[in-house]
Structure 1
Amino acid sequence: MTNLKNIHIGTLIETKLKEEKISMERVCAFFKLETQEILQMLKLDSLETEILLKWCKILEYDFFRLYSQHLIFYAPPSPAKNKGEVKNNKSSLPLFRKNLYTQEIIDFVIETLNSGEKTRQQVIDEYKIPKTTLYKWIAKYNSLDN
């Protein structure tokens, strides 16, 4: 499993590039760049979004999802200032579901519980996963007796 806390996008792209066995000639033609420029790109820990989008297209992999999962795990939503306060933020930007629980996230949580690294309550508190959701995952993907 990929470390979602510290994302080095160049290394991840390079890994996917090797897995897909895409030739450097094809990559260079796609980006209209020289080999040396592509190799420099693979050493970077972050890339501009347009360039990352191109990598997503050529490798047919959503690298942006790595960042979404990072946000779910390491930047939980801030609590309302007052418990009774209702958020009424109207934005012209698209709204997305609060949580995107991919199979990778579920596997990470189950693995964290199995290893004893965190308790069920710690997972609920730290990752803001609803108790019922966590217990459904445990029942479906694992047989824990914690």
Structure 2
Amino acid sequence: MMFKDIHIGKLIVRKVRESGIEMPRIMNFLKKTEAEILAMYDSPDLETGILLRWSKLLEYDFFRLYSQHLILYAPPSGADKKKNASRNTEESGLPVFRKNIYTQQIISFILEQIQTGKKTPNQVIQEYKIPKTTLYKWISKNK
């Protein structure tokens, strides 16, 4: 699965088909008409409240797709981490996340990129901002 371009409607349709949930149940749970639900299937993005309800109905964390996108395509730079960590704790009531969490799916995706020759380890390090030691640990564990 590529995390770069997320079309959430298409992913929801796939999960609905896999789960076998019927349209009347979906309409009742989301309190939407069939036309509104079909429009969601065509939508590349949805409001967070609706996405949360889909996640509950289908028992799948659709938000994780966006988290993985952020880990791969928008990691904070080293200077930004230090600057924002001190500022965020003083100015914001929001939690500050100290580490990126790489799921097994992300690790598999990155290792597949290297194994198939699509990317070199150096390209992965530069593009995704994954620490060199972390990447080489993944490679040695998955040989």
TM-score by length of 2: 0.89
C-alpha root-mean-square deviation of aligned residues, in Å?
1.8
State the match for 1:140 in structure 2.
141
User: Number of aligned pairs?
Assistant: 139
- Offset of 1:135 from its aligned partner? 1.4
DSSP-derived class of the 1:46 partner = coil
Which whole-Å CA distance do the structure 1 matches of 2:43 and 2:85 have between them? 38
Match of 2:86 among 66, 85, 88: 88
Which whole-Å CA distance do the structure 2 matches of 1:38 and 1:130 have between them? 42
State the match for 2:4 in structure 1.
5
Is 1:31 equivalent to 2:25 in the alignment? Answer: no
5 Å-filtered alignment, 1:122-141, equals: 122-141=123-142
Identity of aligned residues (%): 58
Alignment gaps of 5+ in structure 1: none
Q: Which of 39-48 and 130-139 deviates more? A: 130-139
Alignment gaps of 5+ in structure 2: none
| CA separation of 1:120 and 1:29: change in aligned 2, threshold 3 A | same
State the match for 1:44 in structure 2.
43
- Offset of 1:10 from its aligned partner? 0.3
Which whole-Å CA distance do the structure 1 matches of 2:7 and 2:31 have between them? 23
TM-score by length of 1: 0.87
Which whole-Å CA distance do the structure 2 matches of 1:70 and 1:104 have between them? 12
